[in-house]
Amino acid sequence: MKLFPHRIYHVYNRGNQKQRIFFSNENYLFFLQKVRMYWLPCCDILCYCLMPNHFHFLIKTSEKTVEPFGKHEPGTLIHYTRFSWGTQQLLSHYTRAINRQEGLTGSLFTQNTKARQVSSEWSWEDYTLWCFKYILQNPVTAGLVSEPVEWAYSGYRDFAGLRNGSLINMEMAQREMSFDLNSFEVLMNEPVPATIVKNLF
């Protein structure tokens, strides 16, 4: 996962062989605790959505995101950045907890977490706002709820003023995508065209 500072990425992964990764409300909350522990010190989260068998995050990177991190064994090619190390820790700690809970073994997630850059200095190549909408609309698109506000495991309720979470950098999200909270629900009524979705992955 090659990231560069001061850019916006769509970060996502799913259950191995599309298996379920969240089994209870406590699982979703535990995962977000690990996100807070391992990702928040090195990047800003602009929005997120946890789904039963996958997750989406929209992050903005900084110098801390890409700085070398951890111990490097002499003679090995393993090289971690702060974010890649944090991702490994996040997923491995969560996997161990779920495997114990469910009596499972092996990998819970697919091997490589993906990160697609969606920001661009050229407006016609910038998909940040589309990605933001795609992530928050995901539970509706998947048929889990009829309105995104009904899904508790995304940042939608924070932007709608119904929850005062501290995981998302709300000010940065509004600044990067040029919207204000008064227009948020109108903004979210616009569906993401299928021709745009392919540019988010």
The Cα 51–Cα 20 span in angstroms is: 9
Q: How many C-beta neighbours within 10 Å does residue 3 have? A: 17
Give yes or no for a contact between 39 and 16, defined as CB atoms under 8 angstroms apart: no
The Cα 41–Cα 91 span in angstroms is: 16
The Cα 196–Cα 201 span in angstroms is: 10
The Cα 111–Cα 35 span in angstroms is: 18
- Per-position pLDDT tens, the chain of length 201: 789 999 999 999 999 999 999 999 999 999 999 999 999 999 999 999 999 999 999 999 999 999 987 665 565 555 789 999 999 999 999 999 999 999 999 999 999 999 999 999 888 789 999 999 999 999 999 999 999 999 999 999 999 999 999 999 999 999 999 999 998 989 999 889 999 999 999
Q: Rounded to two decimals, what is the model's pTM?
A: 0.93
The Cα 8–Cα 105 span in angstroms is: 34
